[in-house]
Chains A and B, each alone.
Chain A
C-alpha cells in the first residue's frame, strides 16, 4: 500500500497522485467542523460573508473532540460519520476544499464534486479517538465557540494517519456488502 506524507494546504498535484486505498500521513493545519458548524458555514456563504478560514487547499476534519484535560492540547478526537455533511460538502469542494476527513459512506453528489474539483475523502479510524489525539499537537477555537464540541477549531496535526476512501477519479475503498438478492 503506497504511503504519502503530505503537508497542508493540499494542492491539485497532491490530490492527483492519491488513489483509494493509499495511506496518507497528514501534516500541518486542518479545521474541525461537523453538523452545526457546516450549517453556519453554509449560512455565511449564503449571506456573502467571509468564512473563518481560507477554503483554498483546506482540509476539514469531521470531529467534535472531548474537552481537553489539563496539560493536553485536546481531548479524544476521532472522526464522526460523514454522510451528515453530504448536504454541504459539494459546495465546499467547489470553493477550494481539497479534503474532508471522517468515517463512513459519502453521497454520489460528494463523489462527483471530488471528481469535478479535484478533492479527496479520507477515512480515519472511528472509535480510536484517544490514539488519534496524539497526532494533534495544537488546537484552538477560531469560530462558533457557542457550539461547544461543534465549534470550528484550527488544529495542527503531525503524521495524522488516514486512508484514501474516495479519490478524485471515482475510486472507492469501502467493500460492497455481499447481499444475496
Chain B
C-alpha cells in the first residue's frame, strides 16, 4: 500500500486551481496564435488578438482569465493500492476551497432552487475511477456555466448511427451560436448509458487540443466533425469566420443493444485544466 498525505493532496489541488485559472494551457494558446494568423474574418482575428492579450495579462497579474472560474470538476484515477488517511474527497475539496479563496477566484456554486451561493464553491464535482497499482492522478477543470448550458445529452436510436450523431452535434453548435464563447471545443461521448456518456464526454475535454486519437477511425471521425462544425461560419464570439471550433474530442463506450447515447459537452475557448500525479 502507498500512503499519500491528505495535506499534500490539498496543497497540490489549491495550486492547480490558482494556476489553471490564470495560465492558459500552451496547446490552447497555440490554437489562438494559429487563429490570429489564419482566421478569415477581420472581426474574428481581433477576438483572437484580445484573447492572447487577455492570457498575457492574466498570467502577469494573476487575475483569472475569465471571471467565471467555474464549478471545480475533478477526474481522479486512484490506484487500488493507494491510501489517503482522512479521505480523498475531503482532501480535494479542502484544496479547492483554499485555492478559490487565496486565488481570488469566483465562487459560482449555488442552491439550484433558492439560488443562494454556497460561498466557497463547494461542492467540488469529483469523479473517481479506481485503477490497478499505486498511482494517483488528479485532473482539475474549471468548467464555466455559459458553455455548460449549451451542452446536451440525447438518446438516439441505433438506426440513426454516425449520420444521426453528426446531425445532432452540428445542429447543437448552430443553435448555441455565439452563446458558449466560441471558438469552442467539443467533448463528445458516444455510447455507455444515460449518465456515462456525458461523463466520458467531459473527460475527453482533458485531452490536448493538438493530440490525435490513437484509434485511426475515431481520429477520422473527430476530423470530420470538426470540419462540419466549422462550415457553420459562426466564428469567434459569433462574429462570423472560419474558427467556430478548435478541436473535437470523442470518447466511445459500449452501450445497450437498444440504445445510442450521445453527449455533447461544449467547452468555451478558455479551456482551463491541469493535472497532478503522486
Contacts and interface: CB of A to CB of B under 8 A. Distances in A.
Contact of A123 (B61, B108, B170, B237): B237
A178 B239 CA distance: 13
Interface stretch (A9-17, A75-83, A91-99, A108-116): A75-83
Interface in A138-156: 147-150
A89 interface: no
Nearest to B118: A148
Interface string B223-254: 00000000111110111110000000000000
A147 B115 CA distance: 9
Interface string A48-78: 0000000000000001111111001001111
B245 to A, nearest CB: 12
Contacts of A125: 47, 50-51, 54, 237
Given A66-B105, A104-B238, A35 B232 contact: no
Interface in B150-190: 170-171, 173-174, 177-181
A130 B107 contact: no
Nearest to A174: B238
Contact of B107 (A35, A39, A126, A149): A149
B239 A175 contact: yes
Contact of A149 (B108, B178, B179, B269): B108
A175 B61 contact: no
Contact of B65 (A36, A103, A129, A149): A129
A105 interface: yes
Contacts of B63: 66, 69, 72, 75-76, 129-130, 133
Nearest to A68: B104
Nearest to B116: A146
B115 A35 contact: yes
Interface string B37-73: 0000000000100110110011001111111110000
A179 B171 CA distance: 8
Nearest to B42: A1
Contacts of A83: 179
B268 interface: yes
Contacts of A68: 104
Contact of B181 (A72, A75, A103, A148): A103
Interface string B106-132: 111000000101010000000000000
A173 interface: yes
Contact of A174 (B58, B68, B178, B269): B178
B234 to A, nearest CB: 6
A105 to B, nearest CB: 6
Contact of B177 (A67, A76, A105, A130): A105
Contact of A134 (B57, B179, B232): B57
A149 B70 CA distance: 13
Given A103-B178, A104-B179, A64 B106 contact: yes
Interface in A145-181: 147-150, 163, 173-175, 177-179
Nearest to B231: A178
A128 interface: yes
A68 B237 CA distance: 26
Given A80-B146, A125-B50, A129-B68, 12 more contacts: A39-B115, A64-B108, A66-B106, A80-B68, A81-B146, A105-B178, A125-B54, A127-B65, A128-B54, A130-B65, A148-B119, A174-B239
Q: Which 9 A-B pairs have the closest CB atoms?
A: A175-B240, A104-B179, A177-B174, A126-B181, A66-B106, A131-B54, A76-B67, A129-B67, A130-B63
